[in-house]
Structure 1
Amino acid sequence: MYKLLGGFKEYLKWQDIVVDNAVFRLHNLFTTVLLLTCSVIITATQYVGTPIQCIVNKGLPARAINTYCWITSTFTMPDAFLRRAGSEVAHPGVANDYGEEDSKKYYTYYQWVCFVLFFQAVMCYTPHWLWRAWEGNLLRTIIMGLNVGMCKEEDKTKKKKALIEYLLRHVKRHNMYALRYWFCECLCLINIIGQLYLMNHFFDGEFFSYGLRVMSFSQQAQEERVDPMVYVFPRVTKCTFHKFGPSGTIQKHDSLCVLPLNIVNEKTYIFLWFWYIIMATLLALLVVYRALILALPSIRPRLLHTRNRYISREVAEAISRKTEVGDWWVLYMLGRNMDPLIYREVVSELAKKIETAASNNP
């Protein structure tokens, strides 16, 4: 299992040049690895272990019944979850259906869980892939190793000069760079909300309230308790198999099926419920924060000064006033990656040259 999951560590390796936000990486990388790990574990349990075991009558092949019940579906009786297990019903949700087809609750999701998790992982990775394609290693190219302060003075001077010349030559041309990145952050929020609706539909409308019901389960009276994890992911279900008898009459066989895979599923999805709620909250706050940056130019100098305290408020205000939001964002990201002292020198000199150029071209 370690060899199977060990390759995912490449997605979480440390980045020397950061071109995005921590919440953005949590969505794109950590959530992707989390979903792929869950998919691999469930796939291994499903196709290597024994995902279903059915109790069958004598004369029926157990392996064939197991396969049949797995690839078709099993069912429970929802009202049987409210009865006392061991006295009124054999197991939670398992009771006589009395031929009432409409009262059965069928479970067909379990063979699709590993594929759905993999699809969710691909969707979570898409904003990262899209941003990497648009970003094109721009920051890494213009930083030129200035993220490390220990370098020769001559090399440092040449690189600072080249960086300042680039920023002056491309001033007011970075708006699309910033807007594309913020679009990818919005895409993350849309993806998380969309996946919440997907999982809710996948589990027949049971997922939205799943975590809340699990939390409130321990506070309910013993006689009123209905374990939501057992209700959504039943451990024992029923399966009906029909075959021809010796005289050609169709015979109906009831089987009691144990689903050990649902032990893994219920723990996986309770963790995913909490994680997705956390991610949706963080991404919603992040999108609001980006909207404020766009709508309120007055907060940009403060953020630039907060990013690097070596830059004075006056310099931050001057450079923010003479540049557009895309240029401000590039400078802000440079502050996250460059050596603080080198960054102060670059911004101070850039502010002077922009002011000089503005005064020469009134």
Structure 2
Amino acid sequence: MHKVLGSLKGYLKIQDIHTDNAIFRLHNSFTTVLLLTCSLIITATQYVGNPISCIVSGLPVHVVNTFCWISSTFTMPDAFRRQVGTEVAHPGIANDFDDEDAKKFYTYYQWVCFVLFFQAVACYTPKFIWDHFEGGLLRSIVMGLNLTICTKEEKEAKRDALLDYLIKHVKRHKMYVARYWACEALCLINIVVQMYLMNKFFDGEFMSYGTRVMGLSDIPQEQRFDPMVYVFPRVTKCIFHKYGPSGSLQKHDSLCILPLNIVNEKTYIFIWFWFIIMTVLLCGLLVFRAFIFFMPKFRPRILHARNRMIPIETCRSLSRKLELGDWWLIYMLGRNLDPGVYKDVMGEFAKQVEPENQYYHSK
């Protein structure tokens, strides 16, 4: 297990060339590792030990365990608010009186490990798409100038080559920024869709799961209605039918303990909080992108904040002359180039590039 989890460290390794931002990596790398780790832990817990243990008399225990695991178990929702030990044996466990409509069935626990795996794949998809679109462009034009471990002559040659690329490829990076921002928007769509689907997966209980858990601290112990026990019950019921010696149909009502739900309830409370955090961060990120797109007069300040060695006048000149795609490329270069090299390249680039963005100038 340690070796399997250790293999996930590769997703979290520090990049020497950054083609995206920190929030994008949190969604694509950290969230992917988080979901894969949860999936592996639940899978190991499920197959190491007994994921379900049913109490039934007159029948082989392993038969009932297998049947209840592959079919479903249920609770009585109205029994969760009754007093345990006096009115009911366990939270949600009461006589059903053959009322099928009053039962709440649980079948999700068979699928949790698989669902988490496919969620991890969905979270990694925007990075996969962006890496395909980006194609190593930044790495190829940086040419190792992020480290500057080279001779002075080699550094100057690489700097001239970078400047030559920027001048010759002005107005050719519209799709570069559009595809990256689309991948950022895809991250938010992915998180929102996943939260919606998880809510459907848990019969409408996921969206309010975290807030209800947090609200427990303000409720007296004797009045508490634990949402974790309601969504992930530790004890459920299962009905097993078989034919008796005379051919009559016999009904066996059994209690089933689900130790796996102890892991599930903690896993999903963490996932709920993390997905809420990611939703807020990604919404803020898209608002910031809209700010850059619709208010170009603030681009010089953003560019200057990236590297304060560059004079604000140079930042204004570049932002006025360049379209958004070219501006975004030099902004990302500021994250990857040595500050001194970046200052020299941007200063020379501002002198040689011709004005392109008349719309900005009119602002």
Same fold by TM (over 0.5)? yes
Provide the rounded CA distance (Å) in 1 between the counterparts of 2:236 and 2:192: 31
Q: What letter corresponds to residue 118 of structure 1 in structure 2?
A: F
* Counterpart position of 2:118: 119
Q: CA deviation at 1:220?
A: 1.0
* Counterpart position of 1:288: 287
Give the SS at the match of 2:18. coil
* Counterpart position of 2:161: 162
* Counterpart position of 1:232: 231
Q: CA deviation at 1:354?
A: 1.3
Compute the RMSD of aligned alpha carbons: 1.2
Give the SS at the match of 1:82. coil
* Counterpart position of 1:299: 298
Q: CA deviation at 1:76?
A: 0.3
Q: CA deviation at 1:357?
A: 11
Give deviations 1:128-175, integer Å, cap 9, x for gaps: 000000000000000000001342110011001100110000001101
Output the TM-score relative to the length of structure 2: 0.97
Provide the rounded CA distance (Å) in 1 between the counterparts of 2:347 and 2:108: 60
Q: What letter corresponds to residue 45 of structure 2 in structure 1?
A: T
* Counterpart position of 2:319: 320
Provide the rounded CA distance (Å) in 1 between the counterparts of 2:271 and 2:169: 44
Q: What letter corresponds to residue 228 of structure 1 in structure 2?
A: P
Q: CA deviation at 1:176?
A: 0.5
* Counterpart position of 1:80: 79
* Counterpart position of 1:33: 33
Q: What letter corresponds to residue 306 of structure 2 in structure 1?
A: R
Give the conservation status (yes or no) of the 8 Å contact 2:142–2:333: yes
Provide the rounded CA distance (Å) in 2 between the counterparts of 1:77 and 1:355: 73
* Counterpart position of 2:188: 189
Provide the rounded CA distance (Å) in 2 between the counterparts of 1:295 and 1:356: 19
Residue pairs, 1:1-362, within 5 angstroms: 1-58=1-58, 60-355=59-354
Q: What letter corresponds to residue 18 of structure 2 in structure 1?
A: V
Give the SS at the match of 2:262. helix
Q: CA deviation at 1:223?
A: 3.1
Provide the rounded CA distance (Å) in 2 between the counterparts of 1:290 and 1:145: 28
Give deviations 1:201-245, integer Å, cap 9, x for gaps: 000000000000000012112332110000000000000000000
Q: CA deviation at 1:295?
A: 0.6
Provide the rounded CA distance (Å) in 1 between the counterparts of 2:355 and 2:69: 75
Instruction: Report which stretch shifted further, 104-113 or 147-156.
Output: 147-156
Q: CA deviation at 1:125?
A: 0.3
* Counterpart position of 2:360: none
Q: CA deviation at 1:356?
A: 9.4
Structure 2 CA distance for partners of 1:167 and 1:51, relative to 1, 3 Å = same
How many matched pairs?
357
Output the TM-score relative to the length of structure 1: 0.97
Provide the rounded CA distance (Å) in 2 between the counterparts of 1:112 and 1:320: 51
Provide the rounded CA distance (Å) in 2 between the counterparts of 1:11 and 1:357: 40
Q: What stretches of structure 1 of length at least 5 have no aligned partner?
A: none
Provide the rounded CA distance (Å) in 2 between the counterparts of 1:222 and 1:270: 20
Q: What letter corresponds to residue 41 of structure 2 in structure 1?
A: I
Provide the rounded CA distance (Å) in 1 between the counterparts of 2:348 and 2:130: 30
State the identity as a percent: 67
* Counterpart position of 2:361: none
Q: What letter corresponds to residue 149 of structure 1 in structure 2?
A: T
Structure 2 CA distance for partners of 1:356 and 1:181, relative to 1, 3 Å = closer
Give the conservation status (yes or no) of the 8 Å contact 2:72–2:106: yes
Q: What letter corresponds to residue 49 of structure 1 in structure 2?
A: G
Q: CA deviation at 1:44?
A: 1.0
Q: What letter corresponds to residue 81 of structure 1 in structure 2?
A: F
Q: What letter corresponds to residue 208 of structure 1 in structure 2?
A: M
Provide the rounded CA distance (Å) in 2 between the counterparts of 1:158 and 1:172: 24
Provide the rounded CA distance (Å) in 1 between the counterparts of 2:252 and 2:141: 72
**Which structure 1 residue ranges, 4+ long, deviate > 3 Å from structure 2?**
355-358
Q: What letter corresponds to residue 15 of structure 2 in structure 1?
A: Q
Give deviations 1:261-288, integer Å, cap 9, x for gaps: 0000000000000000000000000011
Provide the rounded CA distance (Å) in 1 between the counterparts of 2:23 and 2:356: 38
Give the SS at the match of 1:218. helix
Give the SS at the match of 1:256. strand
